[in-house]
Structure 1
Amino acid sequence: MCSGNLHAFDLLYNRYSLHIYRVLLKMVRDESIADELLQDVFVKIWDKRSKIDTNMPLGPFLYRVTERLVCDFYRKLSRESRLKKGLVETITLYDRNTEEDLQYKETLGNLNLAIEQLPLQQRLVFKLCKLEGKSYLEVSEELGISISTINGHIVKSTKSIKNFLFGKKQY
């Protein structure tokens, strides 16, 4: 077999395949996976045939190759599992961010509608103070109205916006 003798390889396969298959089945507990790994064991043996020491017993060597392939199989399975988990987390995060973006845009749209429903002076004061971040004093000087009037507009506009957004009736 070391020289590429197919007849010797067939004999090896016929002698050890059933035993190796049973070992694989105990290790992986799935017939289709055991079938695939059995083929991998003998492909590996064929590929490494020139390195096989014919003075050593073949059974332990075959078992060692089998164990290594099963370890590689589980390592690959673990990597794929982590990859899938990461992918699911990424997709979930993306979906959550998309949903949050949609909610944010909807809320912002509703807020803009609520602001547009305000009387002109309240709307102007609200935009200058709350959206542009100007102080009551700056708005007072800019519009020529008192700080207490500004405060009154802010209180009324805030209440109207809350009522608009949350569906409460004005009293």
Structure 2
Amino acid sequence: MEFSLDKFSVYILDGFRKDEAEALFDAKIEYFDKLSIDDVRNIKQMAETATSKIAFFINEVGFEAQNALLKITEEPPQNVYFVFLNKELLLDTLISRAQIIRKPSKRSIDDEIERLMNSDKEEIFSYIMQLKKDEILTFTEKLKDTLALKGEYRKLEKLSEMIADFKQFNLNEQLFLANVFDCIMEA
């Protein structure tokens, strides 16, 4: 699988190993384990003279080096890409400029729901509340299937109504997820 590098110039690859990340890009790759200010100067020079696609893979970057990257990530030269492999401690400004790509989980949603149904309240709540916007409806639809298989029809009916309201009225995601949690926990 390869990304179309023409859409974005700054990426955060969440959960990818270095070799997995490199396989996604059709470009010359320069890797920086811990980016320094001197490295940023070298990157700027390489970026200005690049004649073909080049991707700068950055594992860790300190505060000063991040500040030095702000200008070039705001208006990167053509065919120059910045790929952060670790979003921990990244400035919000850099994160806001990035396309975040999360590594798909190997565990299926069905397996995850089955595991959750046998977990304690804290784990269930934590999992539900961390769902991303694009995962919410998939998760809740699969949860409906699980409730139906377990014969928990009262919960199924309530969850179905909640999902319909969520879709129709574009309700607050966190409030919806808290209500999903309450629905699961009902006796």
**Length-normalised TM-score, structure 2:** 0.21
**Which one has the largest radius of gyration?**
1
Whose helix proportion is higher, 1 or 2?
A: 1
More strand by share: 2
User: Taking CA–CA contacts closer than 8 Å with sequence separation of 6 or more, which of the two structures ends up with the larger relative contact order?
Assistant: 2
